[in-house]
Amino acid sequence: MKTEVILTHNIVGLGGESDQVRVSAGYARNYLFPQRLAVPVTGANKRQLEALRQRRAEREAHELNTMTELAKGLTKLTAVIKVKAGEDGKLFGSVTTGMIADELKHQFDITLDKRKIHLEHPIKALGEFEVQVNLHADVKSTLKVRVESTTPIVAPTEAAQAEAPRTEKRGRRSDEAEKAEAAPADKGDKKPRAAAAKTEKPAKAEKPKGKKAE
């Protein structure tokens, strides 16, 4: 069974102050009326519509100003989200609008409904992204989101540099080993050469015996 009520407060998904809407009788009786969010449609209550419309206009103007200022601030912020990622930089899962809203609250004390954050594509990689935020029907903004890994990612160049010293050390040890193996052979060669040098040394020429002077 439906009943018609006049909303006295803004209710997301239902309407704003002064709107006349039809809801279930149980919802009106058990929630809207006790919480003073709505009143029955009567002649006396209809006379309050102008006051409700005025209050609604003031609320919406305040929300517009607040969201406009927030939009300017969001463009200057970068929300950092730390997640688990593999060695290739791919995430185990994806970054959600709920995670972004939580970090806005944690890092900047900004309370924002996650439904106002719009992701065109799921974020499944590390890096910096620009996310659209729909703050108001007339106000949109962007927010930078930087996704970082909770574990350091080793770049390929760094890995190659880390391996280079090890290779160089192995090369030096090999050179030293070769020198050590060649050393005994060199010493053995020196002795025959020395002996050959002594053997091949020409004998001193004998002086011719001259005649004694008379």
Structure confidence at residue 20 (pLDDT): 93
Of 65-74, 78-87, 149-158, give the lowest mean pLDDT range.
149-158
- Strands 139-149 vs 78-83: parallel, antiparallel or unpaired: parallel
Instruction: Print burial letters for 94-108: b (CB count within 10 Å at least 16), e (below 16).
Output: ebebebbbebbeeee
Structure confidence at residue 192 (pLDDT): 47
| Rounded distance between C-alpha atoms, residue 81 and residue 84, angstroms | 10
Of 83-92, 105-114, 188-197, give the lowest mean pLDDT range.
188-197
Structural contact between residues 41 and 47, judged by C-beta atoms closer than 8 angstroms: no
Structural contact between residues 7 and 18, judged by C-beta atoms closer than 8 angstroms: yes
**pLDDT band at 188; cut points 50, 70, 90:** very low
Inform me whether the pLDDT recorded for 160 exceeds 70: no
- Portion of the chain with pLDDT greater than 90, in percent: 57
Structure confidence at residue 44 (pLDDT): 87
| Rounded distance between C-alpha atoms, residue 173 and residue 202, angstroms | 46
Encode pLDDT of 190-212 as tens digits.
444 544 444 455 555 555 554 44
Domains of the chain: residue spans and CATH:
2-70 (3.40.5.10), 73-149 (3.10.430.100)
| Rounded distance between C-alpha atoms, residue 92 and residue 83, angstroms | 8
Of 63-72, 177-186, 205-214, give the lowest mean pLDDT range.
205-214
Residue 179 token pair: 């020198």
Structure confidence at residue 166 (pLDDT): 56
With 0-12 / 13-18 / 19 or more C-beta atoms within 10 angstroms meaning exposed / middle / buried, residue 111 is exposed
State the maximum Cα–Cα separation within the chain, in Å, rounded to a whole number: 176
Inform me whether the pLDDT recorded for 37 exceeds 90: yes
Edge-first strand listing for the sheet containing 78-83: 78-83, 139-149, 127-136, 117-118
Inform me whether the pLDDT recorded for 5 exceeds 80: yes
Structure confidence at residue 164 (pLDDT): 54
Mean pLDDT to the nearest integer, 61-68: 95
Selection from 49, 51, 42, 40 nearest residue 19 by Cα: 49
What one-character DSSP code corresponds to residue 153? P
Structure confidence at residue 74 (pLDDT): 95
pTM for the whole thing? 0.59
